[in-house]
Amino acid sequence: MLITRSVKALRKHLADWKQQAESIALVPTMGNLHDGHLSLVRAAKEQATRTVVSIFVNPLQFAPNEDFASYPRTFAEDIDKLRQYQVDAVFAPDVGEMYPDNEISSTYIDVPGLSDCLEGEYRPGFFRGVATVVNKLFNMVQPDIAFFGEKDYQQLLVIRKMVKDLNIPVEIQSVATVRETDGLAMSSRNQYLQPVQRMQSGIIYQAMQTVRDQVMQGANFTDIEQQMIQQLTQQGFVVDYLTLREPVSLQKPDCTDSLNYLEKAGSKVCNSLIILAAVRLGTTRLIDNLRFSLKPVDR
Ligand code: PAF
**Same fold flag, 2-175 and 188-293:** no
DSSP line for 80-134: HHHHHTT-SEEE---HHHH-TT-GGGS-----TTTTTSTHHHHSTTHHHHHHHHH
Residue 56 has what pLDDT?
A: 98
Residue 20 has what pLDDT?
A: 97
| Distance (Å, whole) CA 154 – CA 3 | 30
Name the residue of 90, 134, 158 whose CB sits within 8 Å of the most ligand 1 atoms, as the mutation to test its pocket.
134
148 φψ region: left (φ > 0), alpha (ψ -120 to 50), beta (else): beta
Fold of 2-175: Rossmann fold (3.40.50)
Atom of ligand 1 nearest to the CA of 28: 8
Residue 168 has what pLDDT?
A: 98
Instruction: Give residues (CB < 6 A) around ligand 1.
Output: 28-30, 58, 61, 130, 133-134, 152, 155
> Any idea which residues carry the catalytic annotation?
37
| Distance (Å, whole) CA 231 – CA 277 | 14
Mean pLDDT of 140-146: 98
Give the domain ranges of the chain: 2-175, 188-293
Superfamily of 188-293 according to CATH: Pantoate-beta-alanine ligase, C-terminal domain (3.30.1300.10)
How much distance in Å is there from the Cα of 30 to the middle of ligand 1? 6
Report pTM.
0.96
Identify whether the C-beta of residue 82 lies closer than 8 Å to the C-beta of residue 52: no
Express each pLDDT in 5-49 by its tens digit. 999 999 999 999 999 999 999 999 999 999 999 999 999 999 999
